[in-house]
Chain A
Amino acid sequence: MRNYRTPSGDGSTFAGPCEPPTDHATDPPERPGPRESPAGVGYPRSVAGQEIDAVVVPTGRHGLPADIVAEHQRERILAATIAVVGNRGYRTTTVDHIVKAAKVGYVAFYELFEGKEDCFLAALGRIVSDTRTELAERVSTELPWDEQISGGLRVLVELIGAEPERARFVLVEAQGAGRDAYRRYEEAMDEAVPKLAEGRALRSKGAPELSAATEEATLTGVAWILQQMLSDEDGSSPRQTLVAATRVALAPYLGESEAAKLAASAAKS
């Protein structure tokens, strides 16, 4: 089953007759005011106040086979985790918040997950794998290298705009959710290293050797730029973000001015 978001990307999950949840587990905690600084680990959280669009499955008794029910419950739990953590942050989120938002019982939760961290890692893994699939489907490896890079970044910028909570989960929350979550985040980022490193072959013969940390620096720099989309106060348009990110990604391999030119034209198309 493909997952709990619609291709329309409007953030809603399966629309249906179920009412949106009204329990207060998802209310934002009291905060002094909107964020006035960029997004990232350590920056203040914005007052989001979003409602969870619960995966709609009839709750209560129904004659469905147990494994289908469990699968739907799992989806609800993952969706709820992303929404609640987006609102409260990982540290203050509890299993109680999650089960209430997902409208599942504790027993059902603990049959599927060992606890908060396990559930968080599952949600993280899901978002990463969905993103990987999206990129593979939408960016052809037949394209010239620079177009693969700018094309991939375009997909990421679109995903962040369409589903900011899922983006926040990976780009911000994962690093703060403990050792294992950090490692998974790192591994997800590092998946892009081989593709980036293909750019090394495009450097002119006389150019100095790139340092070993180039891909890492490039990826972390691009991640920072993408994180800024999640800030309320960031004034950049998605197009500007795409230009900035593309420029940073291409510059070490193609040079600053070529990167700037390609970034500007990639964002136009």
Chain B
Amino acid sequence: MSAARERLKEAMLELAIEKGYEATEVEDVVILAGVPRAEFERCFASKEECAIAVFDHFQADFETKVMAAYASEEAWPDNLRAAAYAIADWSVANPRGMRFGTVEMLWISEAAQARRLHGFQTFLGMIEAGREAAPDPDRVPPDTAGRLMGSMAEILTRRMQGKGFDARAFVPELMALIVTPYLGEEAAARELTIPSPPGPQEG
């Protein structure tokens, strides 16, 4: 992985967040990266390809960490909760990556939108696992997981457009919302009382 490629991706990330992808020219990217234009063209076929490479880089790391957290617990919703905290911790450690992946990717191209959506769909299975934990799985409407994923994705996207989103503090609410259609209101209320695990710095 060449240093030039890394610098170009870093510059693209910085500019996309600061002034938006559309307003960013390849020229701006190469200047900020301190890399010749010819090098950009060697690394990426287009501005879009560079942006998607930024996303893919973050997504790989994000997915690895979140799935590891999910796998660390046996039962639902404990595993989902672990994954949710992993998402929050990742967001705190990678604020620009989270912002780029949820927000900027919407405004790049349809291919980028599809990539972004695919990233969210990683969580469908983790949510849908709640059906097996439900006392009466047949009573849970069929598209519950899709609806919850769509809803959570949109809430996250909204939050990431503002400032000072406390991702960790949001996890109990998020868990309560997801748990309700599968386990009911009491289980949801309990989620609001479960203390957060120690953060990565503390544990």
The answer to whether A and B come from one shared complex is yes
| Chain A residues proximal to chain B, CB less than 8 Å | 38, 40-45, 89, 91-92, 175-179, 182, 186, 207-208, 211-214, 216-217, 220-221, 223-225, 227-228, 244, 247-248, 251-252, 255-256
In the bound assembly, the distance between CA atoms of A255 and B174 in angstroms comes to: 18
Name which residue of chain A comes closest to B191, CB basis: A211
Q: How many A-B residue pairs have CB under 8 A?
A: 89
User: Contact between B155 and A213 (Cβ–Cβ < 8 Å)?
Assistant: yes
- Smallest beta-carbon distance A215→chain B, Å: 11
| Chain B residues proximal to chain A, CB less than 8 Å | 20, 22, 106-107, 109-110, 113-118, 141, 143, 146-148, 150-152, 154-155, 158, 161, 170, 173-174, 176-177, 180-181, 184-185, 188-189, 192
- Smallest beta-carbon distance A182→chain B, Å: 7
User: Contact between A211 and B173 (Cβ–Cβ < 8 Å)?
Assistant: yes
Chain A positions within 8 Å of B117 at CB level? 40-43
In the bound assembly, the distance between CA atoms of A226 and B107 in angstroms comes to: 22
- Smallest beta-carbon distance B19→chain A, Å: 11
Chain A positions within 8 Å of B192 at CB level? 208, 211
User: Contact between A182 and B161 (Cβ–Cβ < 8 Å)?
Assistant: yes
In the bound assembly, the distance between CA atoms of A178 and B113 in angstroms comes to: 12
User: Contact between A217 and B155 (Cβ–Cβ < 8 Å)?
Assistant: yes
User: Contact between B173 and A42 (Cβ–Cβ < 8 Å)?
Assistant: no
- Smallest beta-carbon distance A15→chain B, Å: 33
Name which residue of chain A comes closest to B109, CB basis: A91
User: Contact between A221 and B150 (Cβ–Cβ < 8 Å)?
Assistant: yes
User: Contact between B107 and A179 (Cβ–Cβ < 8 Å)?
Assistant: yes
Cross-chain pairs A/B with CB under 8 angstroms, 24 sampled: A38-B146, A40-B150, A41-B106, A41-B113, A42-B117, A45-B110, A91-B109, A175-B106, A176-B106, A178-B22, A178-B107, A179-B161, A182-B106, A208-B185, A211-B176, A212-B173, A220-B150, A220-B151, A221-B147, A221-B150, A223-B150, A223-B154, A225-B143, A225-B147
Name which residue of chain A comes closest to B121, CB basis: A42
In the bound assembly, the distance between CA atoms of A177 and B110 in angstroms comes to: 11
User: Contact between B150 and A208 (Cβ–Cβ < 8 Å)?
Assistant: no
User: Contact between B150 and A224 (Cβ–Cβ < 8 Å)?
Assistant: yes
User: Contact between B177 and A213 (Cβ–Cβ < 8 Å)?
Assistant: yes
In the bound assembly, the distance between CA atoms of A248 and B181 in angstroms comes to: 9
- Smallest beta-carbon distance A85→chain B, Å: 12
Q: A175-B106, A211-B177 are in contact. Are A42 and B150 (CB under 8 A)?
A: no
User: Contact between A179 and B20 (Cβ–Cβ < 8 Å)?
Assistant: yes
User: Contact between A224 and B107 (Cβ–Cβ < 8 Å)?
Assistant: no
In the bound assembly, the distance between CA atoms of A237 and B99 in angstroms comes to: 37
Name which residue of chain A comes closest to B149, CB basis: A224
- Smallest beta-carbon distance B145→chain A, Å: 11
- Smallest beta-carbon distance B141→chain A, Å: 6
User: Contact between B155 and A42 (Cβ–Cβ < 8 Å)?
Assistant: no
User: Contact between B118 and A256 (Cβ–Cβ < 8 Å)?
Assistant: no
In the bound assembly, the distance between CA atoms of A225 and B154 in angstroms comes to: 13
In the bound assembly, the distance between CA atoms of A42 and B106 in angstroms comes to: 8
In the bound assembly, the distance between CA atoms of A213 and B152 in angstroms comes to: 11
Q: Which of B114, B151, B170 contacts A221 (CB 8 A)?
A: B151
Q: A40-B117, A178-B107, A211-B192 are in contact. Are A228 and B143 (CB under 8 A)?
A: yes
- Smallest beta-carbon distance B71→chain A, Å: 26
Chain A positions within 8 Å of B107 at CB level? 176-179
Chain A positions within 8 Å of B188 at CB level? 208
In the bound assembly, the distance between CA atoms of A213 and B109 in angstroms comes to: 30
- Smallest beta-carbon distance A94→chain B, Å: 14
User: Contact between A186 and B113 (Cβ–Cβ < 8 Å)?
Assistant: no
- Smallest beta-carbon distance B100→chain A, Å: 14
